[in-house]
Structure 1
Amino acid sequence: MMQLINCRLRLTLQDGRTMVGQLLAYDKHLNLVLADCEETRRSRTTEQRRTLGLVMLRGCHIISMAPEGGPGAEDNKTRTPAATMMGPGAGRAAGRGVPPPGAPVGLAGPVPGMYAGMPMPPRPQ
């Protein structure tokens, strides 16, 4: 199912309707979210089409699914990579690339008379 995200699907429903739209999301119950969805109803004499837009379909009503086309090529051309976009939500660490400052002079090692691994003296309460 993950391969079908952003692809156009043709779905057949229990009542005979056909839906064609771009798959945006699905869940474990096979509920689907379709963008730019178009519904087609066929009767014996006519075929009615209507544009629905953004649709959420319940999985228990779906009889068949067939990919109609891959992801839209025009969408990939206009989309900019997320790494190049700047603006709200782009967090950067302060001082990135600069090493953290060392300890001040005189505080770089243990206090004279103490060695590494020696237990701390008891604190007065």
Structure 2
Amino acid sequence: MSGRTSKIMQYINYRIRVCLRDSRIFIGTFMAYDKHMNIIMHDTEEFRTIYPKKKSVNKVAHEEKRNLGFIIMRGEHIVSMTIEGPPPNDSHKARMKIPINVMSGMGRGISRGMAPMVVPPVMRGAPPMGFGAPRHAMDPRQSIPMGRGFAPPRF
């Protein structure tokens, strides 16, 4: 099974032609498949051959084309798959390289990746007399010690 899997895996992102039981043909970019051979394609076009009715004078078959876009095709209906072409090269992405220093002034959205470092405010000394808490609460030398209390008098 691994040989068959690796064989079809090498054609992911290729342009393929899929023929169905009812003689329809789909051409699109092959994206994925599963164990039932259901396939996913995008940028897909459907080609159908329309045969004229027996009573018509003009007995020429013509082909209709429909743009479908993104499709999931049931593997039960697939008769054959043929490679149409290699995956598209991304040469236009390579041409769009922008130096980093050009984009240094661009605004960026806020992300939740890492919390910003919070710096506590710097105290610039005690508040002036008469503002805030009473003086003995602010001065550590005069404050009442917190804890279990004083030792018993006999010790």
Q: Give the gaps of 5 or more residues in structure 2.
A: 1-7, 52-60, 97-108, 115-155
Whole-angstrom CA distance in 2 between matches of 1:89 and 1:46: 57
Question: TM-score w.r.t. structure 1 length?
Answer: 0.60
Whole-angstrom CA distance in 1 between matches of 2:37 and 2:28: 15
Distance 1:14 1:69, change over 3 A: same
List aligned pairs for 1:58-73, cutoff 5 A: 58-73=74-89
Q: Which has the higher contact order (CA 8 A, sep 6+)?
A: 1
Whole-angstrom CA distance in 2 between matches of 1:66 and 1:17: 14
1:22-60, CA deviations, whole angstroms, 9 ceiling, x for partnerless residues? 011111111000000000001231100000000000001
Larger Rg: 2
2:71 equivalent in structure 1: 55
Whole-angstrom CA distance in 1 between matches of 2:50 and 2:86: 29
Alpha-carbon RMSD: 2.4
List aligned pairs for 1:103-122, cutoff 5 A: none
Q: Give the gaps of 5 or more residues in structure 1.
A: 81-86, 92-125
1:113 equivalent in structure 2: none
Residue in structure 1 matching 2:22, options 12, 15, 28: 15
Whole-angstrom CA distance in 2 between matches of 1:78 and 1:26: 27
Whole-angstrom CA distance in 1 between matches of 2:10 and 2:112: 28
